[in-house]
Amino acid sequence: MTTIGYVFLDADRDSVVSLARQQKVIEEYAGNLGKVCDELLVEQSFPAGTALMDRKEGRRLLENVVSGDVIIVMKTMWVLGSPGRGLALLDILREKQVSLFCADLDGDLVLETERKLIVSRGIAPLVRLLCEALSAGADNNGHSAAIRAGKARRKKEGKYLGGPVPYGFQVSGDGRLCQNNKQQTIIDEMVSLKEDRWSYRDIARKMKEQHGLKFSHEGIRRILLKNRKSSLG
């Protein structure tokens, strides 16, 4: 019997949990089960919405597990994804008699286990846990889709998408990137100095002495490079 840890690194990087953190949770959970994690599979480059059987490591995992093996994952949403895909996965593992433990639900999702109950609270706590585990993924996916749609709309409208504003430009009242005339004049001066074979360090020194601007030589190089690309474009 083999205990396999499954690490999922989100391709969209919207809900990233580091490999080291996931590995620690998996190994500690295996220890609580009285087991040792024999193998660690690391899945990356696939979004959470992709079914486990359609991912590279997920497919290899399902092909190689045998009766008695144990799979441990940190979060349910990384393997079940959606109710339909989740049920299909559970059917596959049940047929193979392979256990799937999800740390956030704290239990085997596939095979029945014995548990000593002092007081029965019904299935309400389990249902709530499962809904919370799956809704976390749905909320993240919905939020990510909304962000991507918003950026696409702003790009189509010619609006600035965010991040540091390049020197020589400013964001207008309607959210568009436009030239800053004062800074463009200074850039023109930098270009002239460079054409006269001034070094980047000398140009940076000149900018500080004449305009009180603190640029590193690398900063000057980047400004002139972006200006050159803009001119070519």
Confidence (pLDDT) at 208? 93
Q: 105 and 8 in one domain? A: yes
DSSP string, 204-230: HHHHHHHH-----HHHHHHHHHHHHHH
Q: 178 and 108 in one domain? A: no
Please identify, among 65, 85, 113, the residue that sits at the C-terminal boundary of a domain: 113
Q: Note whether residue 147 is domain-resident.
A: no
Which CATH number does the domain housing residue 42 bear?
A: 3.40.50.1390
Does 71 score more than 90 pLDDT? Answer: yes
Does 147 score more than 70 pLDDT? Answer: no
**Running DSSP on this structure, what letter comes out for residue 173?**
T
Q: 8 and 108 in one domain? A: yes
Instruction: Please tell me the least confidently modeled range out of 93-97, 168-172, 194-198, 215-219.
Output: 168-172
- What distance in Å separates the CA atoms of residue 177 and residue 43, rounded to the nearest whole number? 39
Summarize the confidence of residues 5-19 as an average pLDDT. Answer: 77
- What distance in Å separates the CA atoms of residue 69 and residue 67, rounded to the nearest whole number? 6
DSSP string, 76-123: GGGT--SHHHHHHHHHHHHHHT-EEEETTTTEESSS------SS--TT
Instruction: Please tell me the least confidently modeled range out of 10-24, 40-54, 65-79, 194-208.
Output: 10-24
Q: 175 and 108 in one domain? A: no
Q: 97 and 21 in one domain? A: yes
Q: Note whether residue 79 is domain-resident.
A: yes
Confidence (pLDDT) at 72? 95
Q: 176 and 88 in one domain? A: no
Q: Note whether residue 151 is domain-resident.
A: no
Q: Are strands 169-171 and 3-8 parallel, antiparallel or unpaired?
A: unpaired
Tokens 């079914």 belong to residue: 51
**Running DSSP on this structure, what letter comes out for residue 36?**
-
Domain holding 219, by residue range, is 169-232
141 versus 84: which is more confidently predicted? Answer: 84
Q: 185 and 102 in one domain? A: no
Please identify, among 94, 113, 132, the residue that sits at the C-terminal boundary of a domain: 113
- How many distinct structural domains can be found in the chain? 2
What is the 3-state composition of the chain as percent helix, strand, coil, each rounded to the nearest 5?
50, 10, 35
Q: Note whether residue 15 is domain-resident.
A: yes
- What distance in Å separates the CA atoms of residue 54 and residue 34, rounded to the nearest whole number? 31
Q: Note whether residue 81 is domain-resident.
A: yes
142 versus 170: which is more confidently predicted? Answer: 170
Q: What is the pLDDT of residues 101-127, one digit of tens each?
A: 999 888 888 887 655 444 444 445 565
Count of beta carbons in the 10 Å neighbourhood of residue 160 = 17
CA 118 to chain centre: 41
Q: Note whether residue 37 is domain-resident.
A: yes
Q: What angle, rounded to 10 degrees, do the helices at 200-211 and 181-195 form? A: 140
Please identify, among 96, 113, 130, the residue that sits at the C-terminal boundary of a domain: 113
Instruction: Please tell me the least confidently modeled range out of 13-22, 44-53, 96-105.
Output: 13-22
Q: What is the pLDDT of residues 151-176, one digit of tens each?
A: 666 666 666 666 677 888 888 777 77
Under the banding of pLDDT at 50, 70 and 90, the label for residue 143 is very low
- Residue 124's SS3 state is helix
pTM: 0.53
Q: Note whether residue 45 is domain-resident.
A: yes
* Average confidence score pLDDT of the chain: 80
Q: Measuring CA to CA, how many Å separate 9 from each of 23, 43, 57, 62, 156?
A: 12, 6, 12, 18, 31
- What distance in Å separates the CA atoms of residue 82 and residue 87, rounded to the nearest whole number? 8
Q: 199 and 107 in one domain? A: no
Under the banding of pLDDT at 50, 70 and 90, the label for residue 42 is very high
Q: 194 and 102 in one domain? A: no
Does 139 score more than 50 pLDDT? Answer: no
Q: 86 and 7 in one domain? A: yes
Q: Note whether residue 66 is domain-resident.
A: yes
Burial class (CB in 10 A: 0-12, 13-18, 19+), 7: buried
Does 132 score more than 70 pLDDT? Answer: no
Confidence (pLDDT) at 41? 93
Tokens 């900063």 belong to residue: 219
Under the banding of pLDDT at 50, 70 and 90, the label for residue 49 is confident
